[in-house]
Structure 1
Amino acid sequence: LQSKDSVLKFPGWMILYNAPKNGRNGQHLDSGKFKIGSILSFISLNVLDKQTPPPPYYNEASLIKELEKFGIGRPSTYAPIMSTIQDRGYVQKQEGKLKATDVGKVVTRLLNDSFKQIMDVNFTAGIEESLDGIANGEKERASVIKDFYVPSEYERAVNIPDQIEILSKKVIEILDKTNQYGKTIIFCVDMAHAQAVKDKLNELKSSEEYASRVVSEDKDDLTRFRDKERVMPVVATTVDLLSTGVDIPHLENIIFMRPIASRVLFKQIIGRGSRLFEGKGFFRIIDFTNATRLIDEWDIPTEKPEPPELPEEPIAPYDKLVMGIVVDNKMESPITGAIVKAKLGRWEKLGKTDENGVFKLFGLPSNDKISISIEHAEYKKLNKKLKPHTTENETPYEFRLKAWKSAPKKITIKGIVVTIDEEVEVEFDGIKLSYAEYRKYSKDKISQTIHSSDELRVIWLDPEKRERFIADLEAMKVNITLIKSIENLEDIDSFDVVAHIAFDAPLMTREDRVKHFMRHNAKDIDRYGKEIGEAIREIMEKYKNSGEENLSAQAFLLPNMNAKKEAIQAKYPEGLYGFIHTLKQKVYSFAG
């Protein structure tokens, strides 16, 4: 038990206020009544039922404070963060509180499942710190980008001879049709991949000089490739040496055999081809890895540019100004940190909007009109020609910026129309659903068909049952291929996608399944001979990189698999069918 007592030492303000005294009947408690060790009489026991209230919802101010605590965002980005999460429907403001929507919860879960590193607050704070370091001159931009972009294990696994040969033949075919001596750079996954591509090109062209691998140590090879007077080498294979700091104006072709995730790295690479050279009107991108998805819409010209106007010259005296407020065109909220530029010919002056979206540019020339441009990373650039103000008492201009938004795309897959915009909409049989609603619809339909992962596994191991199961789902407008595409689950087996949707089973990549298979069956792989062991390893590699269709007899249609097929039919106890069935049983034995 605990007893508390207080004694008034000095009345202070209570003399004037005539405040009631502590204790009962207006009397102060006598502190002498209670001493340590005193024996107290039990009078009564009152039980109070109290519950710990849940943490309060964030409002904009408390959310910004939380971001500051973790080192995420900067003063110039807090306002765009608040507007973005509301514009995209991730949260709704209700009575001043920010409450997560169903869309926000689904997007958060998908991001956490698919991009654990990027969603980690420490990772994001570290990136912010690195960007500050670049701005302060304490870090090099190239090294920060290199640390951020590390090729995945899949990217490092593309060094497959068959793939290298097919792509190398295609490269030679394209060059022979365009300009067989046009200087070309091929960006590869790693040095071993670059060496293999170089060797295959030289083998196909019967020349040891046609292609050259260029790395930091090969200064002579780089010099020969850059020399516009030399015909050979035509092709340079590299990893990232040529992405920055190398000028080859006569370069005609850039080829991607390396997956690219960083938009910055992509633009640095294609920057190699944009150098001007006499007689060069364009350069060509040959893309085997869908790297061109990183091209921004504003990088593609939509119409011919207008002839340049003769530059205006500023007129003295420089005693004018321009005042304005910059707001979001839709939300009408102020835009902080927008760059404002006043320009006349070669003369220009820069400013920036403050926390209220307001700017003032002083010391402007006395021309009738001045060009004003406003830029912000989250918005489309705005250009206007305005009459400058003469005094601060005049009405400021209002500038409304439109947020970037890609044009909605529509695709149709087996009777399902998918609209891809800032949010994904799915439409079929006259019903229009948000993607979150479609995912729940899919879960309900799958759960009506099967009731456990074990039941799904039995169906999946039988080709006829599996095909009928998928057809039944598609008849109910549940398309697993569509879900994989929208959620970027292309490296996940369809079995795991179905189990994840229906039973919340953890997602496993095909690579995870291959690792588990190899680890638990290492002693049995070569049990029936070396050729069968090699067949198992090759099928696992194809399954990991290309999908579950390789866990079937289709895998033996390739010419290099004929000898292995014959060995399996001759030595494996149950022939080819038994071999495939056993392989699938072991691959899908792990539940995740």
Structure 2
Amino acid sequence: MAYSESDTRSKLIDPLIKESGWLESNIVREYYFTDGRKLIGGKRGKRYFVDYLLTYKNTNLAIIEAKAETKDPLDGLQQSINYAQRLKIDYVYTTNGHKIYEHSLVDGNGKFIENYPTPDELFERKYGKKTPKATNIITNPFYIEGTMKPRFYQQIAVQKTIEAIADNKDRVLLTLATGTGKTYIAFQIAYRLFQSKWNRDNSDRRPKILFLADRNVLKDQSMNTFNPLEKDCVEINGKIIKKRGGKVPTAGNIFFAIYQSLAVEEENENEDDVTGYYKQYPSNFFDLIIIDECHRGSANDESSWREILTHFTSAVHLGLTATPKRDDNGDTYKYFGDPIYEYSLKDGINDGFLTPYKVKRIQTNIDEYKFDPNDIITGELDKQIVELEQFEKQVVIPKRTELIAKTILQNMNPMDKTIIFCVNQKHALDMKTAIDKYKTVKDNNYCVRVTSDEGDIGREFLEMFQNNDRDIPAILTSSKMLTTGVDAKNVRNVVLTAPIKSMTEFKQIIGRGTRVFEGKDFFTIMDFVGATNLFYDPAWDGENEVPIKSSKKEKKETTKDNSEPESADGSAEDKSKNEKVTIDIKGKKLRVINIETTYVGLDGIPLRTEDYLELLIGVLGKFYNNEEGLREIWSNPKNRKDLLNKLKEMNIDESQLNDLKQIFEAQNSDIYDVLAHISFNLNIKTRSERVFAVEHSEFIEKHHNEKAKEFIEFILERYKKDGVKELGEDKLGKLVDLSGLGTVREVANNFGGIPQMRDEYFELQKEIYR
């Protein structure tokens, strides 16, 4: 009798692996490396795993695909190669217990072999002959605390960085989507270098490492992540330096600073000859400098970051960024070179480590203003027509701000954590007061502004917002301060009310919602300014695109649009001294004229309405071929529930189906009618029309018992008011209670008993959809 796959593994494959010197501690069976894409209702999509992962000296060296002994050993080879490419593993083995096939991803070909290579042989194939020092550096273990250990892509990022540093590479770049744990990766890199006593001069000491951020909130979060190395951590800031009589701290190994604190001495900031505090450190003081959010100017020749990096030129410079190569961050890639590892937003969502999203594009009838002499205008307009980009910067229309605030509240659950990105600090304050005007939650701190002008108060509000055990504050308004790195896991809505021209900034902002949180199936992007046009670009998927060269004029305009001066905690300051024009509109009702909802496909790019409908039609075709097939499913509560559950598994939930009603202006209709219209181009009927048809059919009149008729009419009224959810398989008892016509048994007696009442409940639904 042939062995099953399970028996083949234990009786044939395991002994051969161990014969080649692989210990039990080197073998990981059924290594799951993804969590499965998040689906509606707290469910997960398929998780990917390999049958065997072979590890040695804390490095992943090979995977084995196991087949039952009766199967072809090459079955599953391509899938295993795909997994190995994702895991950055060089060798794949497929076997049925009798034959072993080895494929080398380095050479791109394979062959049948007699025995598995030994651990030492495979390690040497991967790394060649290394010095004991280099081997020590690349084989030191990760820091593991309880169940907290690096995810597969974090392991790869750390290992590749360690290997690059061990090979004496001077500049290293990692590109990973926001929310994937770049600071945790930085900690693991520092920890392993620390344990192996790596340093630039190969002496017997632990390295000196500088973690450089561009705002205090990011620096503070990073220090928390580095907590296991707390005794060796030192903070550098103005207060500490002043306490030390103007001298920078030098005792310690891991230093944390924002570049503003290092760049300029306060005593000299108005002098022509400015001396940065960083110059107090010898140029070879640091062995490694980690530059967080390095796309924010560290590589620009004129930036303060660049001055600091140039001074510490002997250190390894490790850049961390969330954005692939673009025209607006090309100098970053020029400085660091191509990233040694990339992990995109698309990958993070599909693997289940980031939260999917949907996009609501909201248009109003005041996205452009045309001069009207009836309006009250304070100040002077340069032009008769004011475009979207000018709002809040040059022109303020308070009623428009109020319309947007009201619309935000209408499109969110009251206690959903929400960040509203505004044009500048004044706009953020105006938006906060507008939210206060229309909110239903009375708490004074329900909506707060978090910008640099708020100082410590703003930072306290941000900490409260980040605390997942607190409901208040629920809404933050901000300008630039929250665009990068702020770790708030339960953000349900990201609202864009400021035009964005930079792909880099756009991705950073969207990253505020991607972090995974229990019970958070997706987050919503509300876009009032058309910023989500920036989704439709290959770089969103993390591809390393060659930037398009722009003219000097274009570059100048981009800088003007996006580079407002920033304070030390990163919030854009509104330094403009020009008087703004304020317009009080008279005689025109401001309103929302369109809300278009788009959904994210498996490739990570939002689907426009027509694309989404095309996808939906293709999916629905798997469940029914004609209207009769759809009707048969929908008119039976059990079948209807099964269909909705299957659609959920394919990332199509009821909220999306309900949104289709808006698209087809069918809010008073049933989802059934929208589906029938999409699939078969049938006219959409309202629920009232369906109820009217039942009331004038023979269905009700066939019941001679007046109480039975009354109950059926009650059910129809509930359906007309609240829709198909009232007709669930488990709703009959609740409907009896709500009707006030007696107990379940009493009402059922009017139909001849409980089974007969249940049958009529099902028959009524057939009649509704007839």
- Structure with higher Rg: it is 1
User: TM-score, normalising length from structure 2?
Assistant: 0.25
User: TM-score, normalising length from structure 1?
Assistant: 0.31
